[in-house]
């Protein structure tokens, strides 16, 4: 049987509200999640024992293969489905690591999709969601790679959303940002609430309407992330100054930021200018869905 292939798209948090911190220590989140046209590539060669090899521009930063979320997801799946067929995974890693793009989570979700295809088990089987949640907080939302609201610690998912096309520029300054450090800087104690206001109700009927609602929302991790990595403030300023930029915001816990532009031409033009002026940054124009 030929190798099966899945794309592990980058996850973008268009909004990220921290409603508070639960008694168990987890933060209670509410986030509009979309996916970009850029991502990693995962293949599965059926047969033999479970294994993983990696390559690509950011493979070295992803850590040892035996600690990769792809293998963790596959082992969790094997425990949930007796006699599950697996094989040799190969991950081509191009997304930056510790970048607020959910790269590892998206890789793990791609592994679960490959195993589901290989074993003819529909993704609608609720066990896949349970396996994803056990693997990592962001893995469930990455399983279907569709725009939707994500709540709780990431395991509570709203229905899939059909959004108007969003033309974006993604910028990462090349500085890894550890998520625990950002949440620590946020400073919420267990049982404490933020009280900064509810997430706006989404109306996806037009780009202008959606954009107006996104402007009323926020990423509550942006300020603490800028303390941890001050370069993020510079990236946001550069994006916001781009001609045609309608909104500049950080994704996840950083350091990747996005700018939403009026059309694909404006996004491509802004990306070219930023790439020229900041050759050390990773810059990509893409469409979010």
Task: Please state the φ and ψ torsions of residue 117, each to the nearest 5 degrees.
Answer: -65, -45
**Average pLDDT of 235-255?**
97
Contact 213, 200 (CB under 8 A): yes
- pLDDT tens column, 22-32: 999 999 999 99
- Residue 125, pLDDT score: 98
**Average pLDDT of 234-258?**
98
- Residue 198, pLDDT score: 86
Q: Does domain 166-288 have CATH number 3.40.50.2300?
A: no
First to last CA, the chain: 32
Contact 140, 245 (CB under 8 A): no
- Residue 238, pLDDT score: 98
Q: What gap in Å lies between CA 257 and CA 269, rounded to an integer?
A: 17
Contact 286, 38 (CB under 8 A): yes
Q: What gap in Å lies between CA 23 and CA 12, rounded to an integer?
A: 27
- Residue 243, pLDDT score: 96
Stated pTM of the model: 0.96
Q: What gap in Å lies between CA 141 and CA 33, rounded to an integer?
A: 8
- pLDDT tens column, 249-286: 999 999 999 999 999 999 999 999 999 999 999 999 99
Return the domain boundaries, the chain: 4-157, 166-288
Strand runs (DSSP E) across 93-227, as ranges?
148-152, 156-157, 166-172
- Does 211 score more than 90 pLDDT? yes
- Please list the active-site residues: 11, 138
Confidence of residue 63 (pLDDT cuts 50, 70, 90): confident
Residue with tokens 């690591």: 97
- pLDDT tens column, 125-163: 999 999 999 999 999 999 999 999 999 999 899 999 999
- Residue 62, pLDDT score: 86
- Residue 67, pLDDT score: 86
- Residue 195, pLDDT score: 81
The CATH class given to the 4-157 domain equals alpha beta
């Amino acid at each position: 049987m030929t190798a099966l292939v899945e794309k592990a798209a980058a996850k973008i948090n268009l909004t990220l509200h921290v409603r508070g911190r639960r008694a168990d220590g987890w933060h209670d989140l509410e986030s509009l999640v979309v996916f970009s046209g850029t991502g990693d590539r995962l293949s599965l060669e059926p047969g033999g024992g479970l294994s993983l090899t990696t390559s690509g521009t950011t493979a070295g930063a992803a850590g040892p293969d035996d600690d990769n979320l792809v293998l963790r997801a596959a082992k969790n799946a094997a425990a949930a489905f007796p006699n599950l067929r697996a094989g040799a995974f190969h991950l081509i890693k191009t997304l930056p690591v510790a970048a607020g793009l959910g790269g590892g989570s998206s890789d793990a979700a791609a592994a679960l999709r490959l195993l589901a295809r290989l074993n003819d088990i529909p993704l609608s089987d609720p066990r896949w969601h349970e396996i994803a949640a056990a693997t990592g907080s962001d893995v469930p939302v990455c399983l279907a790679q569709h725009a939707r609201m994500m709540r709780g610690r990431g395991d509570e998912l709203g229905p899939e959303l059909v959004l108007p096309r969003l033309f974006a520029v993604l910028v990462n300054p090349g500085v890894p940002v550890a998520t625990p450090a950002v949440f620590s800087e946020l400073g919420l104690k267990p049982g404490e609430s933020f009280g900064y206001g509810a997430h706006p109700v989404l109306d996806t009927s037009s780009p202008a309407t959606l954009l107006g609602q996104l402007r009323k929302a926020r990423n509550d991790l942006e300020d603490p992330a800028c303390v941890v990595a001050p370069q993020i403030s510079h990236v946001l300023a550069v994006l916001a100054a781009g001609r045609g930029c309608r909104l500049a915001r950080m994704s996840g816990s950083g350091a990747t930021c996005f700018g939403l532009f009026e059309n694909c031409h404006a996004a491509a033009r802004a990306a070219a200018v930023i790439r020229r002026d900041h050759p050390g940054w990773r810059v990509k124009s893409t469409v979010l869905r």
